A and B are shown apart, each in its own frame.
Chain A
Amino acid sequence: MMNYSVAVDRLHVERGGREVVRGVSFGVEPGTVTGLLGPSGCGKSTLMRSVVGVQIIRAGRVTVLGHDAGTRAVRGRVGYATQDPAIYPDLTVAEALRYFADIVRAPASDVSRVIGEVGLRDHADALIGRLSGGQHSRANLAVALLGDPEVLVLDEPTVGLDPVLRDELWELFTRLAAAGTTLLVSSHVMDEAARCHRLLLMRDGALLASDTPQRLRERTGESDLERAFLRLIQEVTT
């Protein structure tokens, strides 16, 4: 497990008296994009919260860059974007990013860099609360990119975006991984899954599979990942 950027070992999480993550283990190799797929409510977000270290867990261990998740040693080295934007609606994009840049000790030039990366250059001085849904979530994503974190945990970063933007963001993710960043990205869009190095298929709080897209296709004999996912569910439930 020593070489993984993110290592999750027999993780159990309870929320509201229900076990939403049930004994999940996996490792994420450095410099790769790992896709976390599964229907809404399957425990993806809870798993990501655990990796970032803001989730109270019942059992198991989550290690990020060799340290326990959420401890002081890794807090500034992990970029995190929640599914619902967590960014001040009463600030402009540039103002909000400048604040978060201060916190992660990113250089001032980082603000305009990440604004460009998420395609918000024309809206840098717009109030976040007045942005459209897609722009809002891109502003939220931009916060996670500040300071070039070694690990990026992105919860549904492309939801509600038009195909061109989605494609651009996935190119960015691939580029970041090639430069050594480790990405854990959740999605429920299967064509995004094909662009990941590795896929984690989650259902009902448990991992159904952890494999490369290619091997998942081979294993299930399906060329389409959506159908491969269905086949895996059938295998488990029958």
Chain B
Amino acid sequence: MNPVLALSTARRILTQLRHDRRTVAMLLLMPSILMVLLRYVFNSEAAFDRFGPALLGIFPFVMMFLVTSITTLRERTTATLERLMALPMGKLDLLAGYAVAFGALALVQVSIVTAVSLTWLGLDLAGSVWMLFLIAVLDAVLGMALGLFVSAFARTEFQAIQFMPVVVMPQLLLCGLFVPRDEMAVLLTWLSNVLPLSYAVDAITAVTGTATVQAGLLRDIGVVAGFVLLALALGAATLRRRTP
């Protein structure tokens, strides 16, 4: 593990994004716009308070999944990955670079959408705003790691996009956003128990709902962090120095 290489990689990725202002604008503004839309679709503060917090965790997850799966797929198909693997670049350095770059981007994204939600939209935050940031960034890194992993199974960007309904949609349906997890059929509850987004949404709901940090919250954060490490390990396994 070499922090210099990880930071160089993060800087490189952020520089690439800087040349793509449209993507940055959409990444940073779309969650807030959707949140405003949601607030007025419900047109009721109570309903918004129920759905809003979960979305603060879901947006960074979905967006970072998409952005990373495309970015790493490009890295694979343009052979820059092969070039990096032929150089003194560690797989962990590369992954850490991605995590730092997209984690930082997620932090900005979450800050904007949280600020908009708390001020303009009147969302109530009972817990710590730092805890909220921590969970949201963790969600972003989770989306990033999963995106990196699935990019190994796509040959084209078209295919990579198709992984969104495969990986993201079922988690979205089962995470407790639409129906509380314990009210679903047993089989579905079990299924939701093994999906990372369920814990991310539980954690973020707990932070916005209660002021005290409870054991359940710490456990949820721990579970999400565990999934992040697992997804990063799976992602690292798809980076090969030698290919056929």
Where the two chains meet, the residues of A that have a C-beta atom closer than 8 Å to any C-beta of B are: 14-16, 52-56, 70, 72, 75-76, 78, 80, 82, 84, 86-91, 95-96, 99-100, 102-105, 127, 143
Contact = CB atoms under 8 A, between A and B. Distances in A.
A91 B79 contact: no
A70 B86 contact: yes
Contact of B19 (A14, A82, A87, A91): A91
Contact of B88 (A14, A76, A88): A76
B12 to A, nearest CB: 4
Q: Closest 3 interchain pairs by CB?
A: A86-B79, A102-B8, A76-B88
A56 B244 contact: yes
A86 B82 contact: yes
Contact of B242 (A70, A76, A127): A70
Contact of B79 (A56, A82, A96): A82
Given A53-B242, A54-B243, A86-B78, A78 B86 contact: yes
Nearest to B79: A86
Contact of B241 (A54, A76, A88, A103): A54
Contacts of B82: 54, 82, 86
Contacts of B86: 52-54, 70, 75, 78, 80
Given A54-B241, A91-B16, A95-B15, A75 B80 contact: no
Interface string B68-80: 0000000000111
Interface in B80-128: 80, 82-89
Contacts of B11: 99
17 contacts: A53-B241, A53-B242, A54-B82, A54-B86, A54-B242, A70-B86, A78-B86, A86-B82, A88-B80, A89-B78, A90-B16, A91-B19, A99-B11, A99-B12, A100-B83, A100-B87, A103-B5
